[in-house]
């Protein structure tokens, strides 16, 4: 994980950094909020609530305004009820009072890893540039979770329709943000997009779902299930559910590889061995990209190129 520590006491910052680096995390250290904002957004933020000038709480507020909110662990020498409330309202994952054991800090960071791996959750400002940024983020999460390209394409296309609705209707007269959550539940990919904008009443919502050119109608066509909750002046939450069935190999005589982005070494060996059998009557369904991969594997390396490389060496 990319971890940013914002702490003005250098000895404490170095101790935290060493503990986290020994666990394989990449750590950057900043002594104040201004220096922290000049660094790339981390996966996990560790910040002191008491810093010269702006505090760690102020830093998290700055991140939140940009729509890019890291998992946050606050540390403090003087915990107050007001700071705790503000931290929770900002969405902090943990609040540690000094002195704390480094094992507690490591645990707080690595619990964040488990949460990030299990669920995608991000807020975005409702701007035109956020649409494609959000769709790329959803696609990256889905790929990391092993969701196939067809399901990814359906989910991201449907998400694009919903985000367009947010940009066009939710904040027509004001600025705002929308929140996206994606999870893998058993064999379903579940996507939820919510805003706090104008919202619909029940009749308007029914008209939008049934409209021939409506974004909700197109999103519903791409999903196995859709649930829409909306109230005037309180915003809209749309939950989409997509079947995310993984392909399993049960033999080499027939295999559908269209839901794969790449071939594992084991799959490559099985596939090539089957295709090279003289009496093989196997049938494989491949994407164009995988067909190129298989063709090159069957052809092998170019002898002329290998000879040239040998002469140069």
Q: What is the pLDDT of residues 130-181, one digit of tens each?
A: 999 999 999 999 888 888 888 899 999 999 999 998 888 888 777 888 999 9
Q: What pLDDT sits at residue 244?
A: 75
Residue 182's pLDDT is 93
* pLDDT tens profile 32-63: 999 999 998 888 999 999 898 899 999 998 88
**What DSSP letter does each residue of 13-59 carry, written as one string?**
HHHHHHHHHTTT-EEEEESSHHHHHTSPPPSEEEEES--SSS-HHHH
pLDDT digits (tens, 9 = 90+) for 258-292: 777 777 787 788 778 777 765 545 567 778 888 88
Distance CA(195)–CA(178), nearest Å, equals 5
Reduced to 3 states (helix: H, G, I; strand: E, B; else coil), residue 174 is coil
Which token pair is 215?
Answer: 């974004």
Annotated domain spans of the chain: 2-118, 126-243, 254-312
CATH 3.30.565.10 fits 126-243, yes or no: yes
Distance, in Å, from the CA atom of 269 to the CA atom of 103, rounded to the nearest integer, reads 44
Q: What is the pLDDT of residue 252?
A: 41
Angle, helix 202-210 to helix 215-222, in steps of 10 degrees: 60
26 strand-pairing partners = 2
Residue (of 87, 179, 80) closest to 126 by Cα position: 179
Q: What pTM does this model have?
A: 0.53
Residue 250: pLDDT band (50, 70, 90) is very low
Angle 153-112-89 from CA coordinates, rounded to 5°:
95
CATH of 2-118, one of 3.30.930.10, 3.40.50.2300, 3.40.980.10, 3.40.50.920: 3.40.50.2300
Closest to 273 (Cα-Cα) out of 291, 289, 247, 252: 252
Listed in sequence order, the DSSP H helices in the chain are 10-21, 33-37, 56-66, 81-90, 102-118, 128-144, 149-165, 202-210, 215-222, 265-275, 288-299, 303-312
Cα dihedral sign, 209-211-212-213 = negative
């Amino acid at each position: 994980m990319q971890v940013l520590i914002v702490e003005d006491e250098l000895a404490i910052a170095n101790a935290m950094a060493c503990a986290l680096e020994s666990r394989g995390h990449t750590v950057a250290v900043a002594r104040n909020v201004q220096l922290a904002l000049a660094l790339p957004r981390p996966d996990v933020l560790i910040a002191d609530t008491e810093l010269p000038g702006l505090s760690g709480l102020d830093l998290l507020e700055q991140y939140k305004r940009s729509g890019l909110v890291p998992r946050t662990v606050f540390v403090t020498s003087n915990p107050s009820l007001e700071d705790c409330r503000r931290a929770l309202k900002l969405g902090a994952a943990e609040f540690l009072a000094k002195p704390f054991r480094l094992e507690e800090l490591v645990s707080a960071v690595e619990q964040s890893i488990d949460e990030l791996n299990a669920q995608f959750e991000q807020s975005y400002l409702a701007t035109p540039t956020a649409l494609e940024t959000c769709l790329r983020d959803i696609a990256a999460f889905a790929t990391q979770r092993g969701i196939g390209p067809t399901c990814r394409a359906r989910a991201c296309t449907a998400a694009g329709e919903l985000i367009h609705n947010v940009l066009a209707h939710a904040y027509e007269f004001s600025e705002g943000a929308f929140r996206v959550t994606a999870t893998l539940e058993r064999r379903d990919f579940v996507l939820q997009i919510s805003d706090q904008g104008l919202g619909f009443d029940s009749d308007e919502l029914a008209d939008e779902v049934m409209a021939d050119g409506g974004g909700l109608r197109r999103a519903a066509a791409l999903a196995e299930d859709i649930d829409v909750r909306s109230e005037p002046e309180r915003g809209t939450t749309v939950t989409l559910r997509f079947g995310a069935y993984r392909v399993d190999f049960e033999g080499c005589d027939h295999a559908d590889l269209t839901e794969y982005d790449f071939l594992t070494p084991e799959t490559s060996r099985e596939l090539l061995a089957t295709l090279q059998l003289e009496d093989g009557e196997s049938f494989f369904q491949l994407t164009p990209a995988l067909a190129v991969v298989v063709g090159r594997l069957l052809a092998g390396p170019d002898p002329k190129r290998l000879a040239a490389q040998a002469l140069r060496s």
